[in-house]
Amino acid sequence: MALKATIYKAQIQFSDIDRNVYTSHSVTIARHPSETDERLFVRLLAFALNAPPIGDEDPLEFAKDLWEPDEPSLWQKSPTGRITHWIDVGQPDEKRLTRTAARVDRVSVYSYNANTPVWWKELEPRLTRTRNISVWQIPSPQSQALAAMAQRTMQLQVTAQDGVLWVEDETRSIEVAPRLLWSPPEP
């Protein structure tokens, strides 16, 4: 008998003070049986950080990455179905990233493992030649603290200011400082 996904629901109030962006999202997430609370929460964080303003034609959606190997964790598609933003959570391999970068406008990676520096050192010389890949590290102690917030139903407030995020639920607040490992230079 195949194991089934566990459904999580989250209300996310997102405030990016630096960019003057304020949004609210109701999301439903299917958690794969092999997915950890930590990874689930990093997907939620990636959603909050990348969700377009309300009313944007290209919504950001959770994809089926653990069920379908050719899908990311999240993606944003144009009204014609073309993928404009591909978001992976974890440590995808070089082949996956370069193949994806060749066919989409933008790729973002959010790595949260303690061994991220080792993984990035291996890929950096080749991936920094790309024009459209950004790589972020969520410090492992912070992603582990976020995992403790995972519940089947969540009310979250995420505030971003000066490169730091505060993620709050009804009982706690966690500071997260994502570190940009690579982003292509502005044209």
**Per-residue tokens: 84:** 């404009």
Domain locations along the chain = 6-182
Report, at the CATH architecture level, how domain 6-182 is classified: Roll (3.10)
Whole-number Å distance between alpha carbons of 165 and 125: 29
- Among left, alpha and beta (phi > 0; psi -120 to 50; other), residue 66 is alpha
pLDDT one digit per residue (tens) for the chain, 187 residues? 567 899 999 999 999 998 888 999 999 999 999 999 999 999 999 999 998 876 666 889 999 988 898 999 999 999 899 999 999 999 999 999 999 999 999 999 999 999 999 999 999 999 988 899 999 999 999 999 999 999 999 999 999 999 999 999 999 999 999 999 999 987 6
Whole-number Å distance between alpha carbons of 75 and 145: 25
Residue 30, Cβ density class (10 Å: 0-12 exposed, 13-18 middle, ≥19 buried):
middle
